[in-house]
Structure 1
Amino acid sequence: MRRGLFRWQMGGMGETAEQIDALVVGAGPAGLMAAEQMARAGRRVVVAEAMPSPGRKLLMAGKSGLNLTKDEDFAAFLSAYADAGDWLAPMLKGFGPDQVAPWAEGLGQTLFVGSSGRVFPKAMKASPLLRAWLARLGDAGVTLRRLWRWTGFREERLAFTTPEGPRLIAPRVTVLALGGASWSRLGSDGAWAPWLADRGVEIAPFAPANMGFRVAWSDHMARHFGQPVKGVALNAGGQHLRAEFVISARGIEGGGIYALSRALREGATLVLDLAPDRDHDALAAKLAGRGKESLSNRLRKAGLSPLQIALAQEVARPLPRDPAALAGLLKALPLPLAGPRPLDEAISVAGGITRAALTDGLQLRVLPGVFAAGEMLDWEAPTGGYLLTACLATGRWAGRAAAEY
């Protein structure tokens, strides 16, 4: 494809900028989906990616099994996005759980639904899907430029550092899909936020989402580091769920904690029910014991695991010996947290470009012709397929709107 060039004048010196039809900045799921939609509409698309290879965060997510989406009723699915649900609803209706599966199958992926409703490719990894997707984009004429790092605006142009040196691009339309501000080593570093803010784009402050929390463990807990806490219920901020979490040297993490991370980040107390299958009275009866039976033995006979017993002793030593009082404590054990783990360790982020800063088509109101998608936008959701589905859906939405611009 021949590249059109035109010259902009700045400060008496000429700077040459490459004129292109459509630009996508960021080759993650949102960016690739936007590129695909624009290419289908006949746009000549260039994707600029800062990293040596595309989709690095997607590939990292796939290391533990690529959770594409969640097979559940749409109303329940939408509720996972909390106060952003009404904003994302039309985008997710256009490309939600019912559409993600056939899209992935169209890329040669055989899928299965796990017991929790989570949808995975049988290969489990992200790499086969990503390879097929990139091949399809290449066949559609999409050009991928690796190691092209966006460094902000120069007048109406976008500036990049590249292996060949600094470059300027003047696209007819742009979709920004640079991710949030976590896992910077995979490319999502949030460096774009001040550049957009300087142009008048409203940015909600970043905050970690789907992250672990710090706990100041005593030395007694060291032997349990790396172990999952099973058979418990977690409560925080009015939410209640049966889920596992993991004890680590740094605190707690895992699916159960990620699902409650927003409430915990906002100050809710984490309360554990260590015996969710027994009511208070039944547990108290099990804890009554006989004669001078040791407390540890009574806890073991009541069905608590060694790790659950260690948690109770860590948090509430000395434990009450009265069976009723002890049962009450084990059914509502508060676990003191010392704040979330750092932003860069979070699976995803809250904050980003606000809804008010965007049109219904995800175009930046103060920057005509510039659209945004994915984790750059101010929404959050738990793990379980919700994150990837929304990235794909917003990328598709922005790409279609940009193609029509």
Structure 2
Amino acid sequence: METTIAFILIFGSLVFFHELGHFIFAKRAGIMVREFAIGFGPKIVAITKGETLYTLRLLPLGGYVRMAGEDMDSVELQPGFRVGLVLNAKEEVVKIVLNQNKQQQDMLFLETERADLEKGLWIEGYDEEERLVRYNVSRKAVVTENGKDTLIAPHDRQFGSKSIGNRFITIFAGPLFNFILAFFIFLMIGLLQGVPTYEPIISDVQEGGPALEAGMQDGDLVTKIDGQSINSWQDLASKVQESAGEALSFEYVRDGEVINSTITPKTVEQEGKTFGQIGVLYESPVEKNPLKAVAFGAEQTVTWIVKIFELLGMLVTGQFTIDALSGPVGIYKATEQVAQYGVFNLMNWAAILSINLGIMNLLPLPALDGGRLLFFLIEAVRGKPVDRQKEGMVHFVGIMLLMVLMVVVTWNDIQRFFF
């Protein structure tokens, strides 16, 4: 149960911040956002505020921000349509009712001749006395069909009407917010747990190891190996691992006293590789410093971005296969394992997942944010947009392929963890 709650909170937070990025920059560009959804499938909770419907849906596998003009949601009134109109005090249409045959108070009927609900904002047709009349339509008019209200979307409120720059940042903002979320998670770890100093201080000297035989003790601070300065644990570990079987001259400080001893790392073989060990364990000291916590957050974010790109490169070159990928089931099982090691490890895992989600969405593949950004770049080079039908077909094919990939990855996860 705890794992389920942790998984929902982590995955929900990553999706929420991703979609929040799209939402904020869409609003900033003046784009009408019709729906802000977390999850897919049937609605569990739905709240309308302003012009946006906020929904929580049954399947916690993602989310979306539905913007006006993106999904062919415009209303077209064909000649001969019989509609009911509600006017305001300025004689502007504020409500257009479709499929309405019953007369209601304050409603007049019109047999539509022509209408422009995007740019000109007017409707023209024959009233009940067969007169050709024309009414201006309010920018905030509502179209009602089968009991469902939909705000009209004037052309300047639609996604496609905005500049390439505004469209680009609106889509890019989703992955960007995943990186920002990761930074803040790492920042909170640095503030609450402390920032690792990575000082080369020995935490635990193991029984029977070369270090114990040479007289090294817990708490010793290594300063030099073979005359070379050791400034971090990484320096110490690298020198020892590359010196299997070679005698090394250690200089370390204990209670203010400088001690020198010779230690020969023993040779260890693992996964076909040979490296040296001296039999010590390490747990980095931490320092609680707000400025260092900020630097730690930025450093960890950049480090994991680089690592994930390196892993992607290994996937492309064949060093990893599709069997190594994990879907929701694999992420759930990994979350279960990480949760056993405490809240800070869980926070670290959430930050890594957030970075991973941001990078995956930036890949230039159809149906992903990166695929859409690629079409914007093509538009910028060509000087005109790619045909919407062709672009839509590419994204549709991409969605189908992603669904197939998700099924394959999920099946691999099920076989890996349950069979």
Q: Using structure 1 for the length normalisation, give the TM-score.
A: 0.24
Name the structure where helix makes up a greater proportion of residues. Answer: 2
Which has the larger Rg? Answer: 2
Q: Using structure 2 for the length normalisation, give the TM-score.
A: 0.23
